[in-house]
Structure 1
Amino acid sequence: MKTIAIIPARGGSKRLPQKNIKLLDEIPLLAHSILYAKANSKIIDEVYVSTEDPEIKKVALKYGAKVIDRPENISGDLEPTVSALKHVLENIDLEVENVILLQPTNPVRPENLVQKTFEIYDKIKCNSLFTVSRDHKKLGKIIDQKFVPFNYKIGQRSQDLEPLYFENGLLYITKSKLIMENIIISEDAFPFEIDHIFANVDIDTQADFDYAKYLYYKNIKN
């Protein structure tokens, strides 16, 4: 039974056209995730890119991934990611046990992240694992034009907040059988906490991309 990486990379982004192949340090965003997966070949047996876009397909093949052509009917803005993962599994001949989801819009990850997370995933025998980061913001809701604190009391210090976490999108590991049931994060999913400079990066707009470039050259490249 194999462990594969799947990178879903559609071409129809409206707010940042062709964002998945925009260059970060002269390398397309998509390629950062491909190269990352291939560098973890002791765990990841094959790397697949799911796309409906011919330019993205060219980039994926150039950097050594296998490409599964995604049908237009599951390539829209509102289509959930699990549809692409399921389509890949339905169209390859491998017996796959585990799927590692890498999103091209989260291009930079810690070098040892796959190894650390997969060791935990395998040891505790959970059905899925995903990365989370702590959020230190004071959050609230607006109800009847009034701000109602959610995770703190007015005047409370930030360092005394009850810990809250967010799904940062850096990495997901899931049993393939769950994906066939349209599930990525299972009820027993292990939340792997990580503090990383790119945990707050999810590239969807030009401003997001500019911020990612700034962080990359300030903290990674140098």
Structure 2
Amino acid sequence: MKTIAIIPARGGSKRIPDKNIQLFGTLPLLAHSILYAKQNSTVIDEVYVSTDSEEIKKTALQFGAKVIDRPAAISGDLEPTVSALRHALESLEGNNVENVILLQATNPLRPQNLLVEAFEVYQQENLDSLFTVTRNHQKFGKIAGNKFIPFNYAIGQRSQDLEPLFFENGLIYITKASLIRNDIIISENAFPFEVNHIFAKVDIDTPEDLEYAEYLFQKQLQ
């Protein structure tokens, strides 16, 4: 039974035109996730990019990924990621896929040993899904009736005394293929794998996100 990586990378990004093939460092953004997957060949048997774009397809093939042509019907702005994953599995029917590792092109920076460590937990604990999370240290609240209402703290409380809260950082998702076929990436019993690393704060959606990610990328090369 196989473990495969799927990288969804549709065309038509609005806030950053051609985002997935924008240069990040010296390589297209998408290439970083492809190369990360290929560097983890002890875990991943095959690397696929799901896309509706010919330009993205060319980039994916150039860096050694296999390509699944995604139909326009499931390539829109509002289409959930799981649609691309399910379609990919349907296209690979008969390939004995047991586990799917979702790598998002918008998270190009990942700690080197993260996937190996996460997959080890996934296997040892016999999990059906695992996803990475990071602890939040900010004070959140909402505004109602022109008043700020704290959510996770009391006014005057020290940040270090906050009740631990975590956010889904998007670095890695590992899921049984059987769940993907039922439109599930994160199951009710999914294991939250904690990652407290500066890379966990990188998720490129806006030009400002891209600028921040570039800064961290260049800094690690120094």
| TM-score normalised according to structure 1 size | 0.98
- 2:150 corresponding residue in structure 1: 149
In the TM superposition, 1:37-116 aligns within 5 A as 37-92=37-92, 93-116=94-117
- 1:26 corresponding residue in structure 2: 26
Residue aligned with 1:215, SS: helix
67-76 or 136-145, which deviates more:
136-145
CA apart distance, 1:207: 1.1
Deviations 1:103-129 (A, max 9, x none): 000001011111100000001111100
Letter in structure 2 aligned against 1:188: N
23-32 or 176-185, which deviates more:
23-32
Residue aligned with 1:55, SS: helix
- 1:123 corresponding residue in structure 2: 124
What percent identity do the matched residue pairs reach? 69
Residue aligned with 1:199, SS: helix
CA apart distance, 1:140: 0.6
Letter in structure 2 aligned against 1:183: I
Taking the aligned partners of 1:119 and 1:34, their CA distance within structure 2 comes to 21
Deviations 1:72-102 (A, max 9, x none): 0000000000000000000014110000000
In the TM superposition, 1:181-200 aligns within 5 A as 181-200=182-201
> Aligned-residue CA RMSD in angstroms?
0.7
2:137 and 2:159 in contact (8 A); partners too = yes
Taking the aligned partners of 2:140 and 2:73, their CA distance within structure 1 comes to 37
Letter in structure 2 aligned against 1:189: A
- 1:162 corresponding residue in structure 2: 163
Give the aligned length.
221
2:7 and 2:33 in contact (8 A); partners too = yes
- 2:221 corresponding residue in structure 1: 221
Residue aligned with 2:217, SS: helix
- Give the gaps of 5 or more residues in structure 1: none
CA apart distance, 1:205: 1.2
Taking the aligned partners of 2:196 and 2:53, their CA distance within structure 1 comes to 33
Deviations 1:129-159 (A, max 9, x none): 0000011000011122211101100000001
CA apart distance, 1:17: 0.8
Q: Show structure 1 runs of 4+ deviating over 2 A.
A: none
Taking the aligned partners of 1:179 and 1:145, their CA distance within structure 2 comes to 43
Letter in structure 2 aligned against 1:114: L
CA apart distance, 1:8: 0.1
- 2:207 corresponding residue in structure 1: 206
Residue aligned with 1:120, SS: helix
- Give the gaps of 5 or more residues in structure 2: none
CA apart distance, 1:49: 0.1
CA apart distance, 1:221: 1.4
